[in-house]
Amino acid sequence: MQRNAAVIEYSTLTTSIRNMGAALLAEEVKEIAMESTGMYWIPVWNILEEMGFSLTLVNPYLIKQMLGRKSDVKDAQWMATLLHKGLVQGSLIPCRKSES
């Protein structure tokens, strides 16, 4: 994990999420942790899962325990650190209904 890696923001549009996934694959990223914020995480999860990533859904409360000024970037960096050290406990994800 690079400590001083550039921060790149992506939108929640499908094309942008796929571009993010491609960029992560190019960097040989295999595991991703993300916050379960509202329903916004679901399309991101579905696309990244389809791309073959190992995903962990994190309760936002656990990330907010970090001391100091809060920001999305700091939260993401903290989640990456916790995931890298094996300290992230995933949230339960309800089973998907089969699409017939």
Q: What is the pTM of this model?
A: 0.78
Least trusted range by pLDDT, from 22-31, 59-68, 74-83: 59-68
Alpha-carbon span 37 to 89, nearest angstrom: 16
Buried b (16+ CB within 10 A) or exposed e, 83-99: beeeebeeeeeeeeeee
User: 8 versus 4: which is more confidently predicted?
Assistant: 8
Total residue count of the chain as it appears in this document: 100
Nearest CA among 88, 82, 94 for reference residue 39: 94
69 pLDDT exceeds 90?
Answer: no
CA dihedral 69, 27, 15, 45 (to 10 degrees): -60
Q: What is the pLDDT of residue 3?
A: 56
43 pLDDT exceeds 80?
Answer: yes
